[in-house]
Structure 1
């Protein structure tokens, strides 16, 4: 839990230093156990403390391990999702263009774009997300989506327009 009390810069630095020294080994061990990868655990441990410094630095923590695990779980979820997107992209790429080689830089840009799109789609209201996925990923037409979700075609058009607008605006 965070306190309303604002700390001085020196107190913040001391507090974060103490938090890091006291809880880093525990967090790293916890992440190693959860993830089974020392490298990923080390990265997420550092990322967790970076997030603490950038987002929560001005507060005192009454339950530091609860905050650290909450942040670490979120980062772990994002890492797993990114790895799934990356693997799916690489599989499609290998099937679609087996003879064509795309540079590592281009692959990374595509993967980052796909991850951003995943974030945008996940943030959509549930029905908009369903309409978007059925339309764009399963290539269903309005009538098929209407039958599957039991909603009107005008609702489908409105939801799809909102979903596409969210994607385009976020990608700008």
Structure 2
């Protein structure tokens, strides 16, 4: 039996999965990241995520494929979060120091921004722009249509699409 497959008659448990595949996962991640410590951290995060969904283990037929899928999703989330953090830090670098929020507030804001970014991931650019103009700048549909250079009917469709996307992403 190869280490990448479990016998069909015995369900995986987290301990077996960890012992059999942790080193492989760290190596797999190390090839995608620059530092081994980052790979070890992300491998740890992968197993923590798996611990949160133990019912999925009984469905796993190819542990390494599943682990790499979970880890890749976490890697994408990490890159997205770093991009949001850089943009936030760049934005606050242009305001007077006295107005910069305290570190705890900054952390909360970055987490919220990362969650919003993740929630809106997958929306077409104009749909995302229409939604953000509506929610963040408080613009009405006519103003959004003018700003984006599209019809009012398009903006209405964009908003329905964005709201549906957000609803489904939270399920």
Question: TM-score range, shorter-chain basis?
Answer: 0.7 to 0.9
Note if contact 2:43-2:71 (Cα within 8 Å) is conserved in structure 1: yes
Partner of residue 111, structure 1: 110
Could you tell me which runs of 5 or more consecutive residues in structure 1 were left unpaired when the two chains were aligned: none
Name the structure 2 match of 1:91. 90
Q: Secondary structure at the match of 1:96?
A: coil
- Deviation string 1:120-141 (CA, Å, 9 cap, x unpaired) is 222546652253367769x984
Tell me the matched-pair count.
159
Give SS of 1:28's match. helix
2:148 counterpart (136, 140, 145): 145
Report the CA distance between 1:162 and its aligned residue. 6.3
Cα distance 1:143–1:53, how it changes in 2: closer, same or farther (>3 A)? same
Quote the RMSD (CA, aligned, Å). Answer: 3.6
TM-score w.r.t. structure 1 length? 0.72
Query: Are the aligned partners of 1:132 and 1:160 in contact in 2 as well (CA < 8 Å)?
Result: yes
Instruction: Report the TM-score when normalising by structure 2.
Output: 0.72
Query: How far, CA to CA, are the matches of 1:159 and 1:21 in structure 2?
Result: 47
Describe how 1:13-28 pairs up with structure 2 within 5 A.
15-28=13-26
Return closer, same or farther for 1:56/1:125 CA change in 2, 3 Å cut-off.
Answer: farther
| Matching residue of 2:41 | 43
- Judged with a 3 Å threshold, the aligned counterparts in structure 2 of structure 1 residues 121 and 97 are, in CA distance, closer, same or farther, namely farther
Report SS of the residue matched to 1:95.
Answer: coil
